[in-house]
Structure 1
Amino acid sequence: MAPTSETLTAERILEATEEVLRRHGPAKATVVDVARALGVSHGSVYRHFRTKAALREAVTKRWLDRTSGKLARIAEASDRDPAARLRDWLTALFEAKRHKAGDDPELFATYTVLTDENGAVVGEHIAELTAQLTRIITEGAGSGTFAVPDPAVAARAVFQATGRFHDPCYAREWTRPGVGEEFTALVDLLVRGLS
């Protein structure tokens, strides 16, 4: 294989892995395919990711982190009203999931398989998201916007109550007519309940 002119980095490998997964699917994509796409030996890929499972875990984490990074900016905007931040955060989560499912259905299906394989990564992602919700609700409780005795419990309840709008198992419902109105009605109910 001809060496590439760019330095091989973990990020380049993850980008190539995503493309290989899109092309071949999770069942047929191999480390050799990733190496071939980069113009390097598969040993070069293994220097960054010791196993195929580690590579798949890293690409799954990268995919999930795209969502949590956007949501973190909303959660950290302490200068904004907590109720508005909560609405914005839930809306951003729903929109991010809908876009992932609708913009690239093949890759979304691939990541659904990968998230099933990488339960620890998914657990960390959910913990990060509920921590962001906890921050918003805690600040709301501190300002008197929300009246909850335990913000962490309330955050987990909000996350679970909105699961239909962010859990990939419901992806087929996200394009149904009226789903936006159903989402808004649920968020309104939750904000009133927290208040």
Structure 2
Amino acid sequence: MSPAAAEPLTPERILETTEEVLRRYGPAKATVVDVARALGVSHGSVYRHFPSKAALREAVTERWLGKTVGRLEEIASDGAESAPSKLEAWLEALFDAKRHKAGDDPELFATYTVLLAENSGVVEAHLAELVEQLGRIIAEGVEAGTLDVPDVPAAARAVFDATGRFHDPQYAAEWTSPTISREFEAVTSLVVRGLRA
């Protein structure tokens, strides 16, 4: 038995290995058999956790997107900061997370860009979660009197859409521009000023 096979086969271990296989082979060539081989198990063992290749790809996409959500939730739930400060911090954390994903591992980022197109339900749920976090921050500001917004859900969606250049993967090539930080600060400042009471 290989050392890899001696470890218990868990969904998390399968997803970690799938990410490595995707990095190595790309989304077009990576197979469940490749994942199983890297784990030292049969492909049937992988299918016991994920019933199809599509389910595995969906789960690994969801895991990748979820890595961003935790830090953003911490900011959205911070009771010590004012809503305008949280809004700025949240937008900055989202932009930083996306830039790191694109810059730290460009091959894997390109792979996930392909997977995102395949998994629209996962992407929609992720975007809805992000907009919901923004909505909570804005609602908190309205309640505290620091933000003046007549329709919180519409404002949350508008903020997300207005800052899309700084988190939508289609703009990743622009994130290395020497002026991108200034441009981000200008947009964020304008958005927050527009919501202030």
Give the counterpart letter for 2:50 in structure 1.
F
Aligned to 1:77: 78
| Partner Cα distance (2:180, 2:80) in 1 | 30
Give the count of matched residue pairs: 195
Residues 83-107 of structure 1: per-residue CA shift (max 9 Å, x gap): 1100000000000000000000000
Aligned to 2:5: 4
| Partner Cα distance (2:143, 2:90) in 1 | 19
Distance apart, 1:79 and its partner CA: 2.3
Greater shift, 78-87 or 39-48, is seen at 78-87
Moved over 2 A (4+): none
| Partner Cα distance (1:127, 1:118) in 2 | 14
Aligned to 1:189: 190
| Partner Cα distance (2:23, 2:74) in 1 | 29
| Partner Cα distance (2:126, 2:83) in 1 | 22
Aligned to 2:53: 52
Aligned to 1:39: 40
TM-score, normalisation: structure 2:
0.97
Distance apart, 1:50 and its partner CA: 0.1
| Partner Cα distance (2:182, 2:80) in 1 | 28
| Partner Cα distance (1:70, 1:107) in 2 | 21
Indicate the percent of aligned positions where both proteins have the same amino acid: 67
Residues 21-62 of structure 1: per-residue CA shift (max 9 Å, x gap): 000000000000000000000000000000000000000000
Residues 148-194 of structure 1: per-residue CA shift (max 9 Å, x gap): 01111100000000000000000000001111000000010011100
Aligned to 1:13: 14
Give the counterpart letter for 1:68 in structure 2.
V
Structure 2 stretches of 5 or more lacking a match? Answer: none
SS at match of 1:137: helix
| Partner Cα distance (1:28, 1:78) in 2 | 46
| Partner Cα distance (2:44, 2:184) in 1 | 48
C-alpha RMSD over aligned residues = 0.9
| Partner Cα distance (1:79, 1:141) in 2 | 16
1:123 aligned onto 2:120: no
Give the counterpart letter for 2:176 in structure 1.
T
Give the counterpart letter for 2:86 in structure 1.
R
| Partner Cα distance (2:19, 2:71) in 1 | 20
Distance apart, 1:78 and its partner CA: 2.2
| Partner Cα distance (2:141, 2:6) in 1 | 52
SS at match of 1:184: helix
TM-score, normalisation: structure 1:
0.98
| Partner Cα distance (1:68, 1:150) in 2 | 24
Give the counterpart letter for 1:58 in structure 2.
A
Aligned to 1:61: 62
Distance apart, 1:69 and its partner CA: 1.3
